Amino acid sequence: MLNSTEKEAPLAPRPVRPGLAAVLSLFCTGAGQCYAGRPLRGLVVVALTFAMVLGLGFLLITVAPERPVFDLSLWCLPFLLHAWNVWDAYRCAVQPGARRSPVVMCILFVAAIWILPSLGHTRKFFDALAPVHSYSIPSGSMIPTLNIGDYMVTNRLGFSPKRGDIVVFSPPEAYHGNKEDLVKRIVAVGGDVVEVRQGALWLNGTRQNESFIKEPMTGDFAPFKVPADQFFMMGDNRNDSFDSRYWGAVPRANLKGRAVRIIWSREPGRMGKGL
């Protein structure tokens, strides 16, 4: 029994493990700071990371395609920021008086930053906010412009589709294959009459000089007038492309973005190439 004059000893602060703080921030930005008793600082780190990614996304869609944007020092910034995030979590943990946050708070922080954005409707919400979207190329229908395994980014902000644009779109109703997004080149717009003969594309009665296609076309396509507010799509690998010649024109509402740049390729010389 304690005497009435005796006081209970204060509880010792819960120890903070610097190594664990660094590992947490390595796998979830800001989580180490939260663990080390600095949840608001963790949120600031998350906001800085988001702002940098958003800024680089705007850079990709605003710089003219013919200008290079893959300066090594610029594209190292996200990695340097993440390294600073890990170091900052360690520094927060070794500061005198650091107190470990409750486990529940850490779990809620990770859930809010890492898990919630990946769930159904939440993910769609964040996707809608993104000015750019990345896609991998699974087939050879756009060779030689886009090779299998290339990664490209698209501008999802308000764009005005025109002939020659490479766009990502959802398949029209007449398409009976896999309903995943497709990437093709717009060769004709609403009101145009498109035709294939003599191995070439004819548009409104004029033969088109298309230096970007892989090879001359081997089959013919009868004259077709593109409906208003729709687009006729073809792959650059014309003899191995399942496109509007088979399933018709694509409505404007189906378009999701214009391809602007290759961000990764198995051929290093293609990285950063504008489209």
**Catalytic annotation, residues:** 141, 184
In contact, 60 and 153? CB cutoff 8 Å: yes
Give bridge partners of residue 258 from the DSSP assignment.
Answer: 155, 167
In contact, 93 and 100? CB cutoff 8 Å: no
Q: Is 72 helix (H, G, I), strand (E, B) or coil?
A: helix
* Angstrom distance (rounded) from CA 47 to CA 120: 22
- Cis ω for the linkage preceding 144 (within 30 of 0): yes
* Angstrom distance (rounded) from CA 34 to CA 101: 7
**For residue 202, what are the CA distances in angstroms to 66, 206, 235?**
28, 5, 15
In contact, 256 and 156? CB cutoff 8 Å: yes
Name residues whose C-beta falls within 8 Å of residue 170's C-beta, 6 or more positions apart in sequence: 179, 181, 182, 254, 256
In contact, 111 and 60? CB cutoff 8 Å: no
